[in-house]
Each structure stands twice: as structure tokens, then as C-alpha cells.
A and B are shown apart, each in its own frame.
Chain A
Amino acid sequence: MSRKLTDLQLERFLADAMSPAERAQVDAALGSSPEDAEALRLMKADTEALMVQLPPAAFVEKVMPTKPGSRAFGAWWAALATFAAVVVAVVFWRSSPVEDDLRVKGSVGWKVLASGKGAVRTLAPKDAIAPGETLSFQVTSAEPRYVAVLSHAPDGWFVYAPAVRIESGQSVLQTAALLDETVGDETLFLASSEAPFDANAVKEALSQGAATVVTIEPLPLLKRR
């Protein structure tokens, strides 16, 4: 059975931008078409994902900054820069963020979003996270790069997001991490390189204290109940 509604109708339905008569028509179609109901469900899920990737407060700060020249994550970037330490022998570089939104000229930056119990927040170094929360990752790069996210927790090393290629600009990694019950200090690492790499190989290198050619940027966190 094919769909009865167009995506545009579903968009107007979701945004409550249609007449009562049209809304009733769409309601009726949704009730008799599982395909359309599924399309609506996916649209709602996509909406929720955007609110995680680009939370309302952060978005407003980007389009209507509180001060001229300020950006939502300027303070976050500055704080992160202070924690920019090299864990192993790595090539490490980082430059100051440019004025325009989240881009970092000549470098790569990232932010980690934690979501749980309906709230979403951007994590800063030493922030607390909790079991059951979901972490998602947004990476900003001036040039195309390969990036991955790893974690070092009390129970070992983990790959949270395998290496993927991102284009210049801002990319949201498609992998999210659901935090388990283990508590304690946990450090996330953004691994990046101009060349493709295997995140598991980087994990092995880091766990053994060996050298790796990828750039590593840490974000220390505290996981507690």
C-alpha cells in the first residue's frame, strides 16, 4: 500500500500550519495508512535528533547573540583549549576559533551533547555525566578529515564512534553512545586525521601507551549516579 500523504502535508501537520478541515483530513489518512503513520514517526524522531544536535538555546545564541561577536560555544571552546593535552606521542595542533559560529580555521573542534530525561546539554571539561544518558558528537573542521570518538573509563578503552570522513564545516556523527552503569572518571577523545584510520587500532595504541599518528583531543568527564 502506498502513502496517502506527502511529506509537505506532514510538515504542515507537525507545525500546526493547516486549516482545521485539512487537519481532519490528514488525521483520517494517518489513521488508515500505516506508511504515513511511520513517515510521521520518522519525522518526529528527526525533530528530536535535531533538538539534540542543535539545542534551541544554542541555536538562538548563534542567530541572535547576546553580545556582538559572541557565539554560543565560545566559552566552551576556550575551556576546552585549556585541556588540550597530548596523551601519547601525537601530532597536535589547534588554533583559535574564528568569529563565525563553530568553525575552527585550520583545525578540528568538537562538542559533546549529553541527553537524558528530556534535557540536553553541551558538556564542558569536568562535567558530570550519568548512566543511562546518551552522548552524541558534533565535529567542526575547516578541511575534510577522518574522525572517531574513543573513551577511557575505569573498565577500559572503548570506541564510541568509528572513524568516518567528514567534510569541511560542521558534521554530526551518526553514532551515539548510551552510557552504562560503570561510574568514575571517564575521558572522551576525539581522534582525527587527514588520512583514513582504524579507530580500534588507535584504541589499542592508546591503551598500550604507544604512539599513534592521529590527532587526539581529550574531554575529561566525571561519571556518577
Chain B
Amino acid sequence: MSAPVASDAQRNEVEALYRRYGPMIHRRCRALLGNDAEAQDCLQDTFIGFLKGNWRGEAQPFTVLYRVATYQAIDRLRKRGRWHGRATDLKVREDEPDTSLEEQAAAKQTIAESERVEWAHDLAILTKGEDDFTMTAATMHWVEGHTLEEIAQTLGVTRKTVSARLSRFMERVAQKREVG
């Protein structure tokens, strides 16, 4: 991916963004890709993608960068082209009411690392052609076990929107399977 040319002011702005969000993006890429060197490439591509995009009126930089980073990482996983059979029966898990922070955190820790990687590979294939929002929400929900509320908070939308977008994604997957 080639990089744009910039003014000093833009460079200062990007440096500030990197200091604030770069480590988060790097960890996000590394968690999905399982490879430090590739995570640095993913970090770089995320910023280039962010700078090339038109994000005016979009949510906070954290939200946008998180989505772009997920998109870049999943795109890289897709190129590996491995199907593990984890994502054969997608279901949106509705949030349990009154679930404490501790219970939510514990639920996520029960997902084994190897299982996450396999889910990520499967979703990378299923999300081909999907927008970065859907790809990110799907990854957060099925790969990382985040609740709909957590996804909504992170992506700056309502829980209902997340649920609807994931449901439509599942419908598209089902249609593709019928055709295929």
C-alpha cells in the first residue's frame, strides 16, 4: 500500500494519532494475526487506510481506527484462505440482562486462543465483500465474544443497530450457502 504525501501540520496530527491510538491498533492486529511483524504492517496499512478515507462526520478516531484495523487484519487473514468449520452455525447471542463486568470478562476468557484464531479465519472468508463495520462487529461478537452492548459502545452505535447488522450479515451468509 503506498503512502500519501503530507504537510508538516498533517504529519504532526498523524504523530499525535499514532501516539494515542497506534499501540491499541498494533495490539488489535497482533491479536487477530498472531504475528508481530505482520501486525506492524497491519498498523501501517490501518493508518494509510484511515488517512485515505473520508471519515468526516464519523465517530471518534478510536472507533474508526478500530474498524479499519479489524478490516485490515481480517483482509490479511482472508488471504491465508483457511476454513476451520467453526462458523458453520452463526447465531447472534442476545445480551444477558444484569451481567456484571466480571461475568462478561470471565466469559471472554473462556474462549481458547486457538479457537479464536480458527473463528477469525472462518469469518475472514465469510465477510468477504462486507463493509468494515459489519466485519468488525462480526469479529468482535464471534471471535472475541463481546456482547452487543460492548460492540455498540466501541463502534458508537446502538445495541439494536449492532444486532440488526449482524442479523443481516447472517442472512447474507445463509443465502450464499444456499447458492453455493
Contact = CB atoms under 8 A, between A and B. Distances in A.
- Band of interface residues on B: 35 or more
Interface stretch (B10-18, B78-86, B122-130): B10-18
B62 A64 contact: no
B105 A56 contact: no
Interface stretch (B1-9, B113-121, B160-168): B1-9
B105 A3 contact: yes
A64 B11 contact: yes
A78 interface: no
Nearest to B24: A11
Given A46-B27, A60-B11, A167 B5 contact: no
B26 A50 contact: yes
A18 B60 CA distance: 10
A56 B18 contact: yes
Interface stretch (B38-46, B87-95, B171-179): B38-46
A29 to B, nearest CB: 6
B58 interface: no
Contacts of A171: 36-37
Contacts of A158: none
B33 to A, nearest CB: 11
A57 B15 CA distance: 7
B99 interface: no
Interface string A27-48: 0010000000000000100110
Nearest to A172: B36
Given A8-B146, A60-B15, A170-B40, A15 B21 contact: yes
Nearest to A6: B105
A54 interface: yes
A2 interface: yes
Contact of A2 (B3, B38, B106): B106
Contacts, number: 112
Contact of A14 (B24, B40, B153): B24
A15 B154 contact: no
B112 interface: no
B156 to A, nearest CB: 10
Nearest to A48: B23
B18 A59 contact: yes
Contact of A54 (B40, B104, B106): B40
Given A3-B109, A8-B150, A60-B18, A17 B40 contact: no
A119 interface: no
Interface in A66-83: 66-68
B14 A63 contact: yes
Interface in B132-175: 140, 144, 146, 150, 153-154
A143 interface: no
A107 to B, nearest CB: 16
A224 interface: no
A19 B60 CA distance: 12
Contact of A68 (B5, B11, B14, B144): B5
A169 interface: yes
A43 B27 contact: yes
A18 B102 CA distance: 18
Given A8-B150, A17-B62, A170 B37 contact: yes
From A9, A60, A170, A171, residue with most partner B Cβ within 10 Å: A60
B102 A63 contact: no
A184 B162 CA distance: 62
Given A8-B144, A9-B101, A12-B62, 7 more contacts: A3-B109, A8-B154, A17-B60, A18-B153, A56-B15, A64-B14, A68-B5
